[in-house]
Amino acid sequence: ATPTALAVAAGRGRRLGILLRGPQVLETSRKIDTVVLDKTGTVTTGRMALREVATTTGVDTAQLWRRVAALEAEVDHPVARALVEAAAQRGQVGGATGAAATEVEVLDGLGVRGLVDGTPAVVGRRRLVAEELPLDLAAAFTRAEEAGATAVVLAWADSPDAAPVPRAVLVVGDTVRETSAEAVARMRSMGLRPVLLTGDNPAAARAVAREVGIADADVVAEVLPTEKADAIDRLRAEGHVVAMVGDGVNDAAALARADLGLAMGTGSALAVDAGDLTLVGDDLRAVTDALRLARRTLATIR
Ligand code: ADP
Ligand code: MG
């Protein structure tokens, strides 16, 4: 009876938009008590757009967007896509056809740096820029984060051997998926504890958490991609059986480290490969569908 029940479960899963990677997935699913949710692209749509720009006085905005376009041209990240789009709307295109950056370094979970027109430039998290932010930029940064948005710093140097000077704060925002709050409520009703895990800043993370019904205590923010897997390990060390839901390249290690990795199929192929289970659509409610299906299938087998 077992292979038949599994085949039926697999078929039912497919109709629900769930691809199972093997029979052991069902057994693991039954024991899950904690569901770790990546924020960007999982709980939110991951389609970010520019919301605000704050600059220091006297900044040439054409130079500003030229640098953004050049640095972010080839980067596969929601923040990068929002900035590339904003730059294009202002007539600045990077990459092969436009402003090119050289010696580009994409720093996973931090930002990107390189040389634009031969001088150092960087865009990304605050800690990438050694120099203190001037007061007006710091204020814009704090305001954006408290509003739940993601703020990044743009800095560039005036000469090839100078250090980048912070000149702008670029604020991008994302929207929570319509189905995410309902999905979190369903997890709770199944006795599961949802945890939000993100590389984004704590204020933005808490704003999203509140919107979907996750307590501040269950928010783990400002984690680097490599630390995402550590956060999973920590929960497991506490005795929890952990499912991780993620969409991005950033999440592959954490997906692999969790007892059960659930990849949102709309994300990167890397995440899908790392998952035990793929959620084909963009609806987080499929998480509880998948876990319920697994529980029911096992009940049938026994
Ligand atoms: P998440 O966990 O929410 O998917 P990431 O770990 O990918 O986020 O990124 C964390 C933070 O690093 C972003 O919120 C952003 O501030 C910064 N960041 C990452 N990549 C870039 C980039 N290409 N350009 C600018 N900032 C970036
Ligand atoms: Mg993500």
SS3 call for 94: strand
Work out the number of other CB atoms within 10 angstroms of the CB of residue 135. 8
At residue 213 the predicted structure's pLDDT band, cuts being 50, 70 and 90, is: very high
At residue 248 the predicted structure's pLDDT band, cuts being 50, 70 and 90, is: confident
Q: What's residue 12's pLDDT?
A: 87
Q: What's residue 302's pLDDT?
A: 66
More confident residue, 250 or 242: 242
Radius of gyration of the chain (CA): 21
Please say if 38 is a catalytic residue.
Answer: yes
Residues 8-22 have a mean pLDDT of 86
| % of the chain beyond a pLDDT of 70 | 99
- Range list of β-strands (E), 70-149: 101-107, 111-116, 119-124
CATH number for domain 2-45+176-301, candidates 3.10.20.80, 3.40.50.300, 1.10.10.10, 3.40.50.1000: 3.40.50.1000
Mean pLDDT of the chain, nearest integer: 92
SS3 call for 160: coil
**What is the spatial distance between Cα 160 and Cα 94, in angstroms, rounded to a whole number?**
20
Q: Which residues pair with 195 in a beta bridge?
A: 36
- Residues with a beta carbon under 5 angstroms from ion ligand 2: 38, 40-41, 248
Nearest listed ligand to the Cα of residue 226:
1
- CATH 3.40.1110.10 range(s) for the chain read 49-173
Task: Give the distance (Å) from ligand 2 centre to CA of residue 275.
Answer: 14
* Best mean pLDDT range from 82-91, 144-153, 289-298: 82-91
Distances (CA, A) of 157 to 43, 98, 143, 165: 37, 20, 26, 6
**What is the spatial distance between Cα 258 and Cα 239, in angstroms, rounded to a whole number?**
12
Residues 201-229 have a mean pLDDT of 94
Check whether domain 49-173 has CATH 3.60.20.10, yes or no = no
Ligand 1 pocket, Cβ-based, cut-off 6 angstroms:
38-40, 72, 75, 77, 79-80, 109-112, 123-125, 150, 152, 198-200, 225, 248, 250
Q: What's residue 98's pLDDT?
A: 83
Q: What's residue 92's pLDDT?
A: 94
Q: What's residue 87's pLDDT?
A: 97
Using one digit for the tens of pLDDT, what is the confidence trace for 119-170? 999 999 999 998 999 999 999 999 998 888 999 999 999 999 999 999 999 9
Q: Which residues pair with 102 in a beta bridge?
A: 115
Nearest listed ligand to the Cα of residue 263:
2
Q: Which residue has the tokens 């569901």?
A: 35
Using one digit for the tens of pLDDT, what is the confidence trace for 167-181? 999 999 989 999 999
- CATH 3.40.50.1000 range(s) for the chain read 2-45+176-301
Q: Is the pTM here over 0.95, yes or no?
A: no
More confident residue, 83 or 300: 83
Q: Identify the weakest region by mean pLDDT among 18-32, 61-75, 215-229.
A: 18-32
At residue 273 the predicted structure's pLDDT band, cuts being 50, 70 and 90, is: confident
**What is the spatial distance between Cα 94 and Cα 90, in angstroms, rounded to a whole number?**
12
